[in-house]
Structure 1
Amino acid sequence: MAQDSSQETCAVAPHRVVVIVDENSNPFELGCATEVFGLSRPELGRELYDFRLCSPEPLTPMRDGFFMLTGVAGLDAADSADTLIVPNRPDTDVPRRPAVLDAVRRAHERGARLVGFCSGAFTLAEAGVLDGRRATAHWQWAHVFRARFPAVRLEEDVLFVDDGDILTAAGSAAALDLGLHIVRRDHGAEVANSVSRRLVFAAHRDGGQRQFIERPVPKLPDESLAPVLAWAQERLDSSLAVSDLAARACVSPATLHRRFRAQLGTTPLAWLTGERLALACRLIERGEARFEVVARRSGLGTAANLRALMRRETGLAPSAYRRRFGTGTG
């Protein structure tokens, strides 16, 4: 028996995500965190995260008193978080509890990853961990935030900001974008795609896209970009250019550019490059070891271009990405 037990291997504990819920917290962002990090993933054959909620009080009134949250852990659970999602709420002018701010500071000092959804950026800024750092917040509160926290480098017209160990999302729906970005960063594009499919949500919207897209009701139903996007996604390995997308949509390149800006908040070239990079990541994760083949099949052309784009967008060289997310890795 002793010999058998010595041969047992211990599974690595999943990354622990803890959400602090405080008085008047927004339930939507709490639901986003739960959907992305808290659900069981039998389709993947493993659990991605150990997810917990905590609160400074045993009974927490949620936004506008719609309901009360009970039965969650005490605030000391934040001290065991690998990733700590801080509370957000609409009354941004009300100071956060000192105990909550202290928990955020302790997490930051021991190297935990901090995440703020929507007005959660105010919590991070009040804790003093955003001084000199990049962050975003909902456009509605951007001028207030900038006035109160001038030391923070606010980027007010993006969906989310990844500043390494501190990440912020601009608004409610952007919480899902940032959550999937974190999954992609932790577990790779293939797993993030699986999570997004279960959410029935777009797998990847770049953080640099605009928060607020003025999108009038189209005059004609054929102004939707969906057909040309689907057509292009099936041909990423070919030498597609923006002019090809415009020709497929039967519009000029200038008109296509305006539609991309209006409907997606990005440019045709940026969208095309992002789709190709996402395909390259999936190919590497599925076991393709020849980077020149990955570059060719994803439409990125050369291995040098693949390396440059992967370093820029993921922070990893293709070889490092393969070691972290490739077939047979944790």
Structure 2
Amino acid sequence: MHRVAVLALDGVIPFELGIPGRIFTAAIGSDGEPLYEVIVCTLDGRPVRTDAGFTIAVDHTVEVLAAVDTVIIPPVHPIEINMAGRLPELVASALARIPAGIRIVSICTASYLLAAAGLLDGRPATTHWFEADRFQRMFPRVKVDPDVLFVDDGDVLTSAGAASGIDLCLHLVRRDHGSDVANRAARLCVVPPWRDGGQAQYIEHPVPPLSAASTAPTRAWALERLPEPLSLAELAAHAGMSVRTFTRRFRDEVGLTPGQWLTGQRLERARHLLESSGLPIDIVARQAGFGTGISLRQHFRTSVGVSPAVYRRTFRTRNR
């Protein structure tokens, strides 16, 4: 069983603290057995104050960090670093206990803690969009991407604000056990298996008024027709908008262009077919809307980093 430790520091934000336990305990195997054990610890095993006016008690100290597979750090308020970007001694000592190779994850502004510990130097990362500029100034060696919901850099992963911790934890379940397990966990938690777009949709654009036309019905319509060639003009016509208005409103609502969104949905369809069926690659490509196996392979290598065949060998075996 994969062991996950959640490090609760003084001033921890309760919502983000609870995300790992909720998502990972909802991830179960085909036999109904749990796939993860979630352990919450503090620096010394004593209760810690939250930023919400109550205190939490735990059963473990940071000694458990040396014997787990993943360490997750939720955000604290105020952020536990000084203006020079240095960690409190006890926090630095706790992070130093984590052996090389253990997966380390930050939720929201806990990315400050990883950066101050030097764990993000030269690496891509994200944080809450409101903090992105200050974060980049304080840690210029980090390659900050303020637009995405999370960044997976292998053994170190960072997420954006608050609920993006859900997106990242579901991504970890998907990475460990495939889409079927992650999607089932998402349904149990009544959250979407993945969210379209990134933080840009929350930074730059207000939510359209209820009276405004939405692209949501057209997105639902397109999902039912992924194998078909869908042009921008067809999408705009279905929405009853001009191409220009549709493109602008689509980006406002989703944070992506219609083409980027459509490619992402087709990739997700292809992933599911590769994991859950033995269909030939060319058939998977057609059913996902890529037309040819060559096109699917090109998109898959660009977005996933491996060929469809390698992805299938990895994830279909895990799901059996």
User: TM-score, normalization: structure 2?
Assistant: 0.90
How many residues matched? Answer: 315
- 1:263-308: CA deviation from partner (whole Å, max 9, x where unpaired): 1111111111111111111111112330000000010111122122
Written as runs of structure 1 = structure 2, the 5 A alignment for 1:297-308 is 297-308=287-298
- State how far apart, in whole Å, the 1-side matches of 2:253 and 2:70 are: 33
Please state whether the residue corresponding to 2:120 is helix, strand or coil.
coil
- 1:163-199: CA deviation from partner (whole Å, max 9, x where unpaired): 2211111100111121222222222222222222222
Partner of 2:260: 270
Please state whether the residue corresponding to 1:64 is helix, strand or coil.
coil
Contact 1:78–1:84 (CA<8 Å) still a contact in 2? yes
Contact 1:209–1:266 (CA<8 Å) still a contact in 2? no
Partner of 1:322: 312
Identify which range, 305-314 or 69-78, moves more after superposition: 305-314
User: How far is 1:28 from its partner?
Assistant: 0.9
- State how far apart, in whole Å, the 1-side matches of 2:243 and 2:141 are: 41
The answer to whether 1:77 aligns with 2:67 is: no
Partner of 2:28: 41
Identify which range, 159-168 or 41-50, moves more after superposition: 41-50
Partner of 1:66: 53
Identify which range, 294-303 or 142-151, moves more after superposition: 142-151
- State how far apart, in whole Å, the 1-side matches of 2:107 and 2:65 are: 17
- State how far apart, in whole Å, the 2-side matches of 1:160 and 1:44 are: 30
With over 3 angstroms needed to count, the CA separation of the structure-2 counterparts of 1:48 and 1:25, relative to structure 1, is same
Long gaps (5+) in structure 1: 1-13
Of all paired residues, the percent bearing the same amino acid is 40
Written as runs of structure 1 = structure 2, the 5 A alignment for 1:140-219 is 140-205=130-195, 208=198, 210=200, 211-218=202-209
> Which residue, 209, 215, 219 being the options, matches 1:225?
215
- State how far apart, in whole Å, the 1-side matches of 2:204 and 2:34 are: 36
Tell me which of the two structures has the higher relative contact order, counting C-alpha pairs closer than 8 angstroms and 6 or more residues apart: 2
With over 3 angstroms needed to count, the CA separation of the structure-2 counterparts of 1:313 and 1:181, relative to structure 1, is farther
Written as runs of structure 1 = structure 2, the 5 A alignment for 1:46-125 is 46-64=33-51, 66-92=53-79, 94-95=81-82, 96-107=87-98, 109-125=99-115
* Aligned-residue RMSD, C-alpha: 2.2
Contact 2:129–2:160 (CA<8 Å) still a contact in 1? yes
Please state whether the residue corresponding to 1:73 is helix, strand or coil.
coil
Partner of 1:6: none
Please state whether the residue corresponding to 1:41 is helix, strand or coil.
coil
- State how far apart, in whole Å, the 1-side matches of 2:54 and 2:210 are: 42
User: How far is 1:310 from its partner?
Assistant: 2.0
Identify which range, 190-199 or 121-130, moves more after superposition: 190-199
Contact 2:10–2:48 (CA<8 Å) still a contact in 1? yes
User: How far is 1:144 from its partner?
Assistant: 2.4
Q: What amino acid is the match of 1:60?
A: P
User: How far is 1:325 from its partner?
Assistant: 1.6
Long gaps (5+) in structure 2: none
With over 3 angstroms needed to count, the CA separation of the structure-2 counterparts of 1:175 and 1:213, relative to structure 1, is farther
- State how far apart, in whole Å, the 2-side matches of 1:214 and 1:138 are: 16
Please state whether the residue corresponding to 2:203 is helix, strand or coil.
coil
With over 3 angstroms needed to count, the CA separation of the structure-2 counterparts of 1:228 and 1:184, relative to structure 1, is same
The answer to whether 1:20 aligns with 2:7 is: yes
Contact 1:19–1:87 (CA<8 Å) still a contact in 2? yes
With over 3 angstroms needed to count, the CA separation of the structure-2 counterparts of 1:178 and 1:206, relative to structure 1, is farther
Q: What amino acid is the match of 2:243?
A: P
Written as runs of structure 1 = structure 2, the 5 A alignment for 1:238-317 is 238-317=228-307
- State how far apart, in whole Å, the 1-side matches of 2:136 and 2:313 are: 41
User: TM-score, normalization: structure 1?
Assistant: 0.88
Partner of 2:127: 137
- 1:211-232: CA deviation from partner (whole Å, max 9, x where unpaired): 52422442625x1222111111
